[in-house]
Chains A and B, each alone.
Chain A
Amino acid sequence: MRIKWSTILPHLVLTVFSLAILLPLVWVLRVSLTDKLTAYRIPPEIGHIGLENYVEIFSVYPFERWFFNSLLVALLSTAISLPLATAMAYAFARFNTGGAMLRLGVLASQMLPPIILVLPLFTLFFTTGLMQTHLGLVLSHLTISLPFLAWMLVSFFEGDSASLEEAARIDGATRWQAFIKIAVPVAAPGILAAGLLGFILSWNEFLFALVLSGASTQTLPIGLASMETHAGVEIAPLAAATVVSLLPVFALLPFLRKYLIKGLSLGALK
């Protein structure tokens, strides 16, 4: 039997590529399950397998505080920005509020490098006492999630519900009712998916938390980075902390798949 290279070759390349993505993640999982000495042994050996590192990150490091701070900041900033962004996106889509300039402003806000905002936010928070507070962090994360959600949700309202809303208006519904009772429910799956993406953006945020948080308000990324510096060589607990920090994102991924392309392309592609 002759081997057809044109069918085998893509699978060969895709397998190598998939392994290049997957093996590092599997290796982190493996390191997280070994003890500290085995984690460093070169050449690697299987050795002991256990959950000690997962216990240690909660007992030796304030992991639950980092986790709680990340969760609190991400939930609050998403809960605030989602309804605000939904209303503005609907105004953009239906009434062209503010025209092209305002939309460009929202897109530009989203593209803004965080380093540009963190300088003035630092001085503002310094003078207003918001430094190192949860409220300050939530406000700083709004600068990421609000423009992202507003921009992304516009395309969800440019779809099917416009004619339904018109019919309802003819039947005597107010503009507000057409928005809340028809447009929002029709777009609800997209709005929720966008909210999940907003949550992940905040969950992953680093620079604002680095500059604006304090010991008691540190988020996970800051905690992980500090583990790396002060523990120096302890990669086994670090791997365990990494695995736990990735769990929420991987858990949300299946719910996002349908909306991923829209989210990544900022609504330009379907």
Chain B
Amino acid sequence: MSGIKASAADRRDARFGYVLAAPSLTVLFLIILFPVLSALYTSLHEYTLIAPNFDIFTGFDNFRLALADAEFRHSAWLTIRFVIGVVLLEFVIGFGIALMLNKVERFKPIYYAILLCPLLMNPVIVGLIWRMFLHPNLGIVNYLLSTVGLGPVNWLGDTKIAIWTVIMVDIWHQVSFMIVLLLAGLASLPKEPYEAARVDGANAFQCFIHITLPMMRTVIIVTLLIRLIFAVKTYDLIYIMTRGGPGVATDLVSYFIYRTAFVGLNIGEASAMSIILLTAILGLTAYLYRYMRSIR
């Protein structure tokens, strides 16, 4: 008797849940799922913006063209290296700073308040101010270098240096993200294992390797994964600082797709490329999701 009653209440609970979620789901369907499906449709057609009735179904031709396109392969490979580079460098610098912040007492609120500043800054603004500083003749950075007898460096105009300049600016902008999350993880670690290890005569380095790293594992993985997925999206910084140049030296995949669609007006092939990018992002997101559920 009570079992039937409970299940009736459960059913009403479930129905109420769907009623609450319905408005959001409708909007998400219209502005995300439908556009993504339409991009998928476009990617399978020879697409003409002005005359939709003349679209020709071409199967996977756009994908074949995209994958055979040397510039697309270059930008995909560059993106992979860029993402690994910024995530690793930001992680190493961020972890180092977080460890020190976790150790100090005095001035800690001041350090923390300062490092929060870039966190929510607009990437467009970050790009603009660094372009200003890095100007080859009129920028403050080359002037400061010249006072110690270095430079001048052509930060954004040299094909070998430009990508590293973008990486440095991205570190300036995003390293605080790593610090804030890793510091939160460090602050929540228990004290007892460290005391026990000290009694056993372990030094600071051994404590770090055998206590800090294993206990920080979940925080580190979540932080790295989120930062990784966001780094794949990098677009604004490239648009503002280099427009993918000089040549194609900083042509990350989001910017390359933008160029293919809105400069080259090849919307079909650009859609195929964006579907390839989507697949990669979905894979990473599914992994992050599984990991987040496993630590709950």
- Mark contacts of B235-269 with chain A using CB atoms, 8 A cut-off: 1 yes-contact digit, 0 otherwise: 11001100000000000001001100110000100
B23:A87 contact, CB within 8 angstroms:
yes
Interface positions, chain B 108-148, Cβ under 8 Å from A, are: 110-111, 114-125, 128-133, 137-138, 140, 143
A108 closest partner in B (C-beta)? B285
B38:A123 contact, CB within 8 angstroms:
yes
Which residues from A are CB-within-8-Å of B104? Answer: 10-11, 14
B42:A24 contact, CB within 8 angstroms:
no
Which residues from B are CB-within-8-Å of A146? Answer: 24, 27-28, 31
Q: Given the complex of chains A and B, what is the CA–CA distance between A127 and B20 in angstroms? A: 32
For the complex, count residues of A whose C-beta is within 8 A of B.
97
A150 closest partner in B (C-beta)? B24
Interface positions, chain A 182-232, Cβ under 8 Å from B, are: 200, 203-204, 206-207, 210-211, 220-221, 224-225, 228
Q: For the complex, is A264 an interface residue (Cβ under 8 Å from B)? A: yes
Given B27, B130, B133, B185, which contacts A269 in the complex, CB threshold below 8 Å? B185
A119 and B267 in contact, given A24-B129, A98-B21, A107-B285 (Cβ under 8 angstroms): yes
A119 and B271 in contact, given A112-B32, A224-B128 (Cβ under 8 angstroms): yes
A115:B258 contact, CB within 8 angstroms:
yes
B115 closest partner in A (C-beta)? A21
Q: For the complex, is B25 an interface residue (Cβ under 8 Å from A)? A: yes
Which residues from B are CB-within-8-Å of A105? Answer: 28
Q: How large is the interface on B (under 10, 10 to 19, 20 to 34, 35 or more residues)?
A: 35 or more
Which residues from A are CB-within-8-Å of B270? Answer: 119
Given A124, A143, A269, which contacts B219 in the complex, CB threshold below 8 Å? A269
A210 closest partner in B (C-beta)? B239
A147:B32 contact, CB within 8 angstroms:
yes
Which residues from A are CB-within-8-Å of B240? Answer: 225, 228
Q: Given the complex of chains A and B, what is the CA–CA distance between A250 and B117 in angstroms? A: 7
B122:A204 contact, CB within 8 angstroms:
yes
Looking at B66-74, B95-103, B206-214, the stretch in contact with chain A turns out to be B95-103
B281 closest partner in A (C-beta)? A111
Which residues from B are CB-within-8-Å of A124? Answer: 35, 38
Q: For the complex, is A156 an interface residue (Cβ under 8 Å from B)? A: no
- Mark contacts of A86-109 with chain B using CB atoms, 8 A cut-off: 1 yes-contact digit, 0 otherwise: 011011101111101011111111
B139 closest partner in A (C-beta)? A42
Q: Given the complex of chains A and B, what is the CA–CA distance between A170 and B88 in angstroms? A: 53
B14 closest partner in A (C-beta)? A95
Q: Given the complex of chains A and B, what is the CA–CA distance between A139 and B133 in angstroms? A: 36
Q: For the complex, is B222 an interface residue (Cβ under 8 Å from A)? A: yes
Q: For the complex, is A51 an interface residue (Cβ under 8 Å from B)? A: no
Which residues from B are CB-within-8-Å of A200? Answer: 120
Q: For the complex, is B292 an interface residue (Cβ under 8 Å from A)? A: yes
Which residues from A are CB-within-8-Å of B293? Answer: 100
B28:A119 contact, CB within 8 angstroms:
no
Q: For the complex, is B289 an interface residue (Cβ under 8 Å from A)? A: yes
Q: Given the complex of chains A and B, what is the CA–CA distance between A211 and B140 in angstroms? A: 33
Q: Given the complex of chains A and B, what is the CA–CA distance between A140 and B275 in angstroms? A: 19
B143:A43 contact, CB within 8 angstroms:
yes
B181:A120 contact, CB within 8 angstroms:
no
A221:B32 contact, CB within 8 angstroms:
no
Given B16, B101, B122, which contacts A245 in the complex, CB threshold below 8 Å? B122
Which residues from A are CB-within-8-Å of B155? Answer: none
A88 and B25 in contact, given A11-B104, A175-B12 (Cβ under 8 angstroms): yes
A264 and B181 in contact, given A17-B97, A18-B111 (Cβ under 8 angstroms): yes
Q: How far is the CB of A123 from chain B (nearest CB, A)?
A: 6
- Mark contacts of B34-62 with chain A using CB atoms, 8 A cut-off: 1 yes-contact digit, 0 otherwise: 11101100100000010010000000000
B125:A109 contact, CB within 8 angstroms:
no
Leading 6 A-B pairs by shortest Cβ distance: A95-B17, A97-B17, A120-B35, A88-B24, A10-B100, A91-B17
Q: Can you show 12 pairs from A to B with CB atoms below 8 A apart? A: A14-B101, A17-B115, A21-B114, A21-B118, A44-B143, A104-B289, A111-B284, A116-B39, A120-B34, A139-B31, A143-B31, A147-B28
Residues of chain A having any CB pair with chain B under 8 Å: 10-11, 13-14, 17-18, 20-22, 24-25, 27-28, 31, 40, 42-44, 84-85, 87-88, 90-92, 94-98, 100, 102-109, 111-124, 126-127, 139-140, 142-143, 146-147, 150, 175-176, 179, 200, 203-204, 206-207, 210-211, 220-221, 224-225, 228, 235, 238-239, 242, 245-246, 249-250, 252-253, 256-257, 260-261, 264-266, 268-270
